Amino acid sequence: MKPALVISRDWPAGVGPETPLLGLSLLRRQILAAERAGFERIYVEPVAGADLSRHLAGTRAQIASGRDTASAGKSIARLSARLLPSVEWLRALRENPSADPAGPGVFEIRDAQDLPRAERWLLDGLVKDTEGFMSRHVERKISLAISRCLAPTEVTPNQMTIVSVVVGLAGSAFFLSSRPAMQFAGALLFLGHSILDGCDGELARLKFQTSRLGGILDFWGDNFVHSAVFAAIAIGWWRRSEEIQPLLLGAAAIAGTLLSAGFVYFQTMSNASNASHASGASSASNGREGPLFTSVSRSGDSRLSRMADFLARRDFIYLVVILAAFGKAHWFLILAAVGAPLFFLVLVGLALGQRNPRRSYS
């Protein structure tokens, strides 16, 4: 029997299926989350005086009838209209329809006054456990505020990806100069790129607009911007010194970046079945089309995998900002010229360790 879900009509006072929350009506948000969780049949109990058809458009949901719910038998799960569930919570409900509705993966809306708290609950759920300290406490706070404003608009995740890439490329041009003010401006734009890059994944998950194309754009856009920054620092340094070393360092940083990106892509993102290793703007409703990238390794909780994930975080951008303020962005290029190739070698080591289970890196 295919898993089925019934969304009840017990809407709380002052709240209904059409009530908007971060760009989607409450009912549509419940339906899309249920589809993402794997429910193949979704029934919505009719609400007197409410036209539910527009909330159901383009989904597998349909207005419930007594015959529908009776034919589903014991495999049917029920979702109170008062509950705002996460996809993970709904997956657990799909596996055990009689499960206790309480838990951290669901928010109960008792009246209209709970809507601001429900909004905050949704936004807080977008913060990933794998994020670095500065990303979690600085960048994510800004990006969530931006996404909150953009959610009710027609702005798409892919559009935000393009905007973030344009901002990052604009910032890279400032690193051609040796003047601290110019480099600092470029570093701030580089940081702005990182902040805006968080918005695409946030919007995609908030509005259930994730796609494989979005994941590819996001992933390669980031690496293209990083490579452009390294190239600009190297060229600017070379023009001032007229020596070959800056170009060699830039080539090493770019090569390490692109090799690592290509390795990660083909290891964890190119295969649509690797759904558990994909990120932000890249997971389709069935989980098979472009996962959200959360880890550079599939080797589990080993020291090497933890180190690789640590090195993949973006907190390094703040070092760029500090060095650029003193006109010393080329110092970071030296670090990147060593660190990026080493990071690639770490990834290769992880892959070899997976192929040879007798070796242990933990």
- 3-class DSSP state of 6: strand
CB 304 within 8 A of CB 361: yes
Write out the two tokens for 309.
């994930």
Token code pair at residue 11: 């809407």
Listed in sequence order, the DSSP H helices in the chain are 26-37, 53-56, 66-72, 87-95, 115-124, 133-134, 140-150, 157-174, 180-206, 212-241, 245-264, 303-311, 316-325, 329-355
Cα separations in angstroms, 221 against 140, 154, 167, 194, 225: 19, 22, 11, 11, 6
- pLDDT at 74 exceeding the cut of 80: no
Q: What residue spans define the domains of the chain?
A: 4-124, 133-355
Q: Which two tokens stand for residue 168?
A: 């990052």
Q: How confident is the model at residue 312 (pLDDT cuts 50, 70, 90)?
A: low
Query: How is residue 113 written in tokens?
Result: 């006054």
Dihedral in degrees, nearest 10, Cα atoms 221, 340, 132, 218: 10
If one compares 74 and 117, the residue with the highest pLDDT of the two is 117
pTM: 0.83
- DSSP symbol at 268: I
Q: What is the pLDDT of residues 248-279, one digit of tens each?
A: 999 999 999 999 989 888 877 655 444 333 33
Is the pLDDT score of 10 beyond 80?
yes
For residue 253, give the nearest of 223, 217, 293 by alpha carbon. 223
- Among residues 130, 131, 13, 2, which one has the least CA distance to residue 75? 2
Distance CA 10, CA 27 (A): 12
| % of the chain with per-residue pLDDT over 70 | 80
pLDDT in tens, 151-202: 999 999 999 999 999 999 999 999 999 999 999 999 999 999 999 999 999 9
What is the token pair recorded at 103? 């838990």
Which among 311, 264, 315 is positioned nearest to 291, based on CA atoms?
A: 264
Three-state secondary-structure class, residue 12? coil
- One of 3.40.50.2300, 1.10.3720.10, 1.20.120.1760, 3.40.630.10 is the CATH number of 133-355, namely 1.20.120.1760
For residue 39, count CB atoms less than 10 angstroms from its CB and return exposed for 0-12, middle for 13-18, buried for 19 or more: buried
Over 50: is that where the pLDDT of 287 sits?
A: no
Tokens of 8: 């009840």
Query: What pLDDT, on a 0 to 100 scale, did the predictor assign at position 72?
Result: 52
Q: Residue 315: is its pLDDT beyond 90?
A: no
Greatest CA separation for the chain:
81
Q: Partners of 83 in the beta sheet?
A: 108
Question: 188-240: per-residue pLDDT in tens?
Answer: 999 999 999 999 999 999 999 988 888 889 989 999 999 999 999 999 999 99
pLDDT for the residue numbered 320: 95
Element (H, E) at 42: strand 41-44
- Written as six digits, the tokens of 136 are 């979690």
Whether pLDDT at 358 is above 60: no
The alpha-carbon radius of gyration of the chain (Å, integer) is 24
How high is the mean pLDDT of the chain? 84
